[in-house]
């Protein structure tokens, strides 16, 4: 089990990217959140089994056909043991 903090840069706002990330996390049974940032980037915190997170990362990197990830940064952060869902936050 691990938790990652990820910032995606590129064409990631106004193209359905948050919902795409949400669906990928839901399918993989991951927890956390996704939100737009004021600077045009998208922030994701995602938590779950290592193998599920690997599939999630590959899926998100592939995009939804409208988004284009130009760069991203990622770091491991402490797990939130009582978290139950993945949410789109505003």
Supply the DSSP string of 29-90, one letter for each residue: T-EEEEEE-TTS-EEEEEEE-HHHHHHHHHHHHH--SS-EEEEEEEEEE---TT---EEEE-
Q: Which of 3, 18, 39, 68 is catalytic?
A: 18
Residue from 23, 35, 36, 64 carrying the catalytic annotation: 36
Is 41 tagged catalytic? no
36 catalytic? Reply is yes
- Residues designated catalytic: 18, 36
């Amino acid at each position: 089990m691990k938790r990652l903090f990820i910032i995606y840069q590129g064409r990631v706002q106004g193209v359905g990217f948050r919902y795409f990330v949400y669906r990928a996390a839901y399918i993989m049974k991951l927890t956390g959140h996704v939100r737009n940032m004021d600077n045009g980037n998208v922030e994701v915190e995602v938590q779950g089994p290592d193998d599920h997170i690997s599939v999630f990362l590959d899926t998100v990197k592939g995009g939804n056909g409208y988004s284009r990830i130009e760069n991203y940064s990622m770091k491991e952060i402490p797990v939130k043991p009582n978290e139950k869902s993945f949410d789109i936050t505003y």
